[in-house]
């Protein structure tokens, strides 16, 4: 059996009070079973003020996690907040591994370390799920991670997030593992034991609406889009009216442009473009692209964002799933304009309905992401890891 407990604090300037609030809510001495791990999501200043580390040091179990500008858990939500999700059970075990100093390593070095790390996870049996927390790196994207793991002789199911500090797109995008708190560290938790994770995915994207025509990618390098239809990516966005003359996104204070990539085999992938590569006319995304693919820049839809969140949590309620970890794309909050809390508010309302429908409280935690990693089922029924954007993804542990 797996049990999940959550806690939240807004005590950013008083680490001792933050520790007290978290421990009072989790009651670890009362609720901990044989094996326990904590997942921490936090506003960036909790790291800088020392409260995040104080909580990690005080808790009687290992902690991992990452920065999230908004957090929501069990009816509460805020931006300047920190949440802890305690996952505990007698019949489950955990293994945590890290890739350190990734900012100083090449793409090939990071790839090799992740392969070795995954081999270590599988040495004693295949994990039920692996949760990665990865930093935003232009030289190694979420697509690179899922491609590396999907290419293994026996792939591992990944459900995780790209750490993303929305207060400053340049970072720091903190990742936590015990006493380590860095913006260039990968952290992976492998879960083993007597449970079956259940994954769900919904999108706020309207595939039929767009800013302009479908064009061809002429040049790209990993997550960097250089040229479309023979002009620089920056020039194209300005020609389409998506960017202003001073390189800001038209009609919004947030630098985020969604797009649909369409490949020759008919597959479509949504990507979020988050800024301009300094000193160039290139723009960078949360995932990789390839020359020859078609691309269509598109609109966000706030109404579809809320409707999709309600749909996902109704599915969870109908299936009586519980113990939910969820990641929502930062772009989903931006689609809501000034009402950026509205999705976490909608999820809190869904939790109230869950209680009425199932006569039990819904234990959940949601954090916001720069890219959501969640497996999908292919035509043969096999789980394939995919990096998503503009999605809400969930994993049920209970």
Q: What Cα–Cα distance (Å) separates residue 383 from each residue in 30, 36, 68?
A: 37, 27, 27
In a domain, 89, yes or no: yes
- What pTM was estimated for this model as a whole? 0.84
Read off the pLDDT of residues 109-149 as tens digits, 9 standing for 90 and up.
999 999 999 999 998 789 999 999 999 887 888 888 999 99
Read off the pLDDT of residues 388-398 as tens digits, 9 standing for 90 and up.
888 899 999 98
Tokens 């081999």 map to which residue?
Answer: 119
Residue 254: what pLDDT? Answer: 61
Among the three residues 247, 281, 297, which one is the final residue of a domain in this structure?
Answer: 297
Instruction: Say yes or no: 193 and 308 in one domain.
Output: yes
Q: What is the mean pLDDT of residues 45-70?
A: 93
Instruction: Say yes or no: 71 and 191 in one domain.
Output: yes
Q: What is the mean pLDDT of residues 43-63?
A: 93
Instruction: Say yes or no: 30 and 121 in one domain.
Output: yes
Mean pLDDT of the chain: 88
In a domain, 230, yes or no: yes
pLDDT at 269 over 80: no
Euclidean distance between CA atoms 282 and 88, whole angstroms: 46
Instruction: Say yes or no: 235 and 311 in one domain.
Output: no
**Confidence bin at 218 (pLDDT 50/70/90):** very high
Taking the mean position of all CA atoms in its chain, how far away is CA 26?
24
In a domain, 82, yes or no: yes
pLDDT at 274 over 80: no
**Confidence bin at 168 (pLDDT 50/70/90):** low
Euclidean distance between CA atoms 373 and 329, whole angstroms: 10
Instruction: Say yes or no: 79 and 101 in one domain.
Output: yes
Which domain does 229 fall in, by range? 215-297
Q: How many domains does the chain have?
A: 2
pLDDT at 211 over 60: no
Instruction: Say yes or no: 198 and 103 in one domain.
Output: yes
Instruction: Say yes or no: 341 and 193 in one domain.
Output: yes
Instruction: Determine how β-strand 35-42 pairs with β-strand 62-67.
Output: parallel
Euclidean distance between CA atoms 295 and 259, whole angstroms: 7
Instruction: Say yes or no: 188 and 326 in one domain.
Output: yes
H, E, C per residue of the chain: CEEEEEEEECCCCCHHHHHHHHHHHHCHHHHCCCEEEEEEEECHHHHHCCHHHHHHHHCCCEEEEEEECCEEECCEEECCCEEEEEEEECCEEEEEEEECCHHHCCHHHHHHHHHHHHHHHHCCCCCCEEEEEECCECCECHHHHHHHHHCCCCCCCECEEECECCCCCCCCCCEEECCEEECCCEEEEEEEECCCCEEEEEECECCCCCCCCCEEEEEEECCEEEEECCEEHHHHHHHCCCECCCCCECCCCCCCEEEEEECCCCCEEEEEEEEECCCCCCEEECCCCCCCCEEEECCECHHHHHHHHHHHHHHHHHCCCCCEEEEEEHHHHHCCCCCCCHHHHHHHHHHHHHHHHHCCCCCEEEEEECCEEEEEECCCCCEEEEEECCEEEEEECC
Among the three residues 297, 323, 349, which one is the final residue of a domain in this structure?
Answer: 297
Burial of 202: CB neighbours in 10 Å, binned 0-12, 13-18, 19+: buried
Instruction: Say yes or no: 188 and 74 in one domain.
Output: yes
Higher pLDDT among residues 341 and 6, named by residue: 6
In a domain, 85, yes or no: yes
Read off the pLDDT of residues 279-304 as tens digits, 9 standing for 90 and up.
899 988 877 788 888 898 876 667 88
In a domain, 210, yes or no: no
In a domain, 208, yes or no: no
Paired strand residues for 93: 192
In a domain, 57, yes or no: yes
Among the three residues 264, 297, 330, which one is the final residue of a domain in this structure?
Answer: 297
In a domain, 248, yes or no: yes
Burial of 211: CB neighbours in 10 Å, binned 0-12, 13-18, 19+: middle
Instruction: Say yes or no: 161 and 310 in one domain.
Output: yes
Instruction: Say yes or no: 197 and 224 in one domain.
Output: no
Share of the chain above pLDDT 70, in %: 93
Instruction: Say yes or no: 83 and 13 in one domain.
Output: yes
Higher pLDDT among residues 337 and 328, named by residue: 328
């Amino acid at each position: 059996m797996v049990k999940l407990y959550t806690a939240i604090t807004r005590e950013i300037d008083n680490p001792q009070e933050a520790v007290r609030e978290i421990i009072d809510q989790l009651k670890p001495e009362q609720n901990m079973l044989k094996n326990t791990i904590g997942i921490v999501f936090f506003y960036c200043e909790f790291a800088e003020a020392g409260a995040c580390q104080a909580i990690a040091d005080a808790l009687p179990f290992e902690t991992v996690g990452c920065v999230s500008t908004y957090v929501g858990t069990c009816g509460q939500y805020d931006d300047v907040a920190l949440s802890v999700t305690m996952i505990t059970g007698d019949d489950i075990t955990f293994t945590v591994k890290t890739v350190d100093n990734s900012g100083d390593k090449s793409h090939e070095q990071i790839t090799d370390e992740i392969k070795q790390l995954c081999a270590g996870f599988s040495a004693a049996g295949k994990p039920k799920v692996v949760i990665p927390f990865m930093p935003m790196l232009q030289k190694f994207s979420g697509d690179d991670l899922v491609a590396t793991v999907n290419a293994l002789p026996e792939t591992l199911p990944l459900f995780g997030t790209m750490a993303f500090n929305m207060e400053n797109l340049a970072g720091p995008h903190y990742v936590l593992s015990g006493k380590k708190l860095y913006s260039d560290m990968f952290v992976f938790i492998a879960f083993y034991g007597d449970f079956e994770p259940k994954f769900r995915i919904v999108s706020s994207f309207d595939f039929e609406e767009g800013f302009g025509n479908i064009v061809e990618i002429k040049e790209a390098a990993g997550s960097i889009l250089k040229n479309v239809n023979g002009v620089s990516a920056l020039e194209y966005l300005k020609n389409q009216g998506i960017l202003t003359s001073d390189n800001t996104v038209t009609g919004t204070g947030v630098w985020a442009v969604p797009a649909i990539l369409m490949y020759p085999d008919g597959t479509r992938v949504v990507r979020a473009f988050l800024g301009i590569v300094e000193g160039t006319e290139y723009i960078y995304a949360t995932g990789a692209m390839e020359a020859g693919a078609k691309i269509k820049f598109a609109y966000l839809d706030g109404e579809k964002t809320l409707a999709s969140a309600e749909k996902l949590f109704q599915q969870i309620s109908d299936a009586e799933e519980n113990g939910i970890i969820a990641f929502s794309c930062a772009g989903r909050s931006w689609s809501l304009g000034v009402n950026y809390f509205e999705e976490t508010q909608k999820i809190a309302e869904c939790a109230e309905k869950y209680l009425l429908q199932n006569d039990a409280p819904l234990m959940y935690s949601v954090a916001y992401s720069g890219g959501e990693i969640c497996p999908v089922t292919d035509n043969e029924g096999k789980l394939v890891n995919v990096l998503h954007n503009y999605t809400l993804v969930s994993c049920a542990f209970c």
